[in-house]
Structure 1
């Protein structure tokens, strides 16, 4: 199936999840994440969950990472208005956020960090395939960002659903994941 077809199907599938199903899946995703091992982790980047989209909220994973790596720097994206680019802002417990055009929280201010400094990226997705390619929301922000990261950056997706066999229109500019975890399984690509 194509990205457009899969995007429609998986938005509907996610919207059909009950609150109880989401809470259970969130717990299982956190448990699976805690089973991963990172030899060294200095900077982690995470998407911010959009309100009303039933996206996995990475807050608990970030709290776990900060506990495991007390010196960890965490960054989140901020979209350059009117562009398809984003910058990466260091955040902490005192960061103040405001919603962007899509209602996604973004830090109002903070230190910008370069993509080359990032060790781990928690990548948003609607679904993924057995090769590690993903379907996002169709704007290409993360593919452009991931192309700027070091070759050894860990690209990790979090999905409520198991992979589809293949995304038929994955392109050369699409950046595959290294790992994706679901409530039932962990995948390495």
Structure 2
């Protein structure tokens, strides 16, 4: 299936998702993440903040659990700069948030963290396939950013299981190492076999 078609389909499915179902699936994804990965080994982890008007997966359960259970782990969130690049900003319980022009909550005055310091990047997506390709909103923010942190584990967070093969993936698309859904964790790569 083509990205544009998948994008339309998944946006419509998300809009139809009741708030209580979104909350339940978000909580299940958080539980799968913590049971499926050695989160305690991550010193610095990137987590996107949910765009509520788009009914994105709620990452606050993940963030709050990291703060509570892994106080030595730094949580960083993206800030979209005017030139379309993502910079990483430290998020603490005391960090004030402001809404960007895109409606994304962003940290105000938070220290910048270098991409080379990231151990894991938790990625937003609309859809993914069993080859580890993902479909986002089509702006390419994350694909460009991921080139700056090749050492980081790339983990998608999805409300849905994998969809059909993404037919128009191209070499500039940075594939996932894994994707977490409410039901399970999918691993990708030459030896993972989609499991």
Query: Where does residue 130 of structure 1 map in the other structure?
Result: 130
Task: For residue 145 of structure 1, report the CA deviation from its aligned partner.
Answer: 0.6
Question: CA offsets, 1:1-23, max 9 Å, x none?
Answer: 11111111100011111122212
**DSSP-derived class of the 1:21 partner:** helix
**Superposition TM-score, scaled by structure 2 size:** 0.91
Query: Where does residue 160 of structure 1 map in the other structure?
Result: 159
| Conservation of the 8 A alpha-carbon contact between 2:130 and 2:162 | yes
Query: Where does residue 142 of structure 2 map in the other structure?
Result: 142
Question: Would you say 1:75 and 2:71 are equivalent positions?
Answer: no
Question: CA offsets, 1:87-114, max 9 Å, x none?
Answer: 1111101111111111111112111111
Query: Where does residue 168 of structure 2 map in the other structure?
Result: 169
Question: Would you say 1:51 and 2:82 are equivalent positions?
Answer: no
Task: For residue 25 of structure 1, report the CA deviation from its aligned partner.
Answer: 1.1
Structure 2 stretches of 5 or more lacking a match?
189-195
Root mean square deviation of aligned Cα: 1.3
Task: For residue 181 of structure 1, report the CA deviation from its aligned partner.
Answer: 1.2
Task: For residue 155 of structure 1, report the CA deviation from its aligned partner.
Answer: 1.0
Structure 1 stretches of 5 or more lacking a match?
none
Aligned residues: 187
Task: For residue 157 of structure 1, report the CA deviation from its aligned partner.
Answer: 1.0
Question: Would you say 1:109 and 2:109 are equivalent positions?
Answer: yes
Query: Where does residue 63 of structure 2 map in the other structure?
Result: 62
Task: For residue 29 of structure 1, report the CA deviation from its aligned partner.
Answer: 1.3
Write the distance in 2 (CA, Å) between the matches of 1:122 and 1:73: 13
Task: For residue 185 of structure 1, report the CA deviation from its aligned partner.
Answer: 2.0
Write the distance in 2 (CA, Å) between the matches of 1:20 and 1:90: 30
**DSSP-derived class of the 1:65 partner:** helix
Q: Pick which of 65-74 and 161-170 moved more.
A: 65-74
Task: For residue 70 of structure 1, report the CA deviation from its aligned partner.
Answer: 1.7
**Superposition TM-score, scaled by structure 1 size:** 0.94
Structure 1 residue ranges, 4+ long, deviating more than 4 angstroms after superposition: none
Query: Where does residue 24 of structure 1 map in the other structure?
Result: 24
Query: Where does residue 191 of structure 2 map in the other structure?
Result: none
Question: CA offsets, 1:105-154, max 9 Å, x none?
Answer: 11121111111100011101001011111000110000111111033x11
Write the distance in 2 (CA, Å) between the matches of 1:155 and 1:48: 16
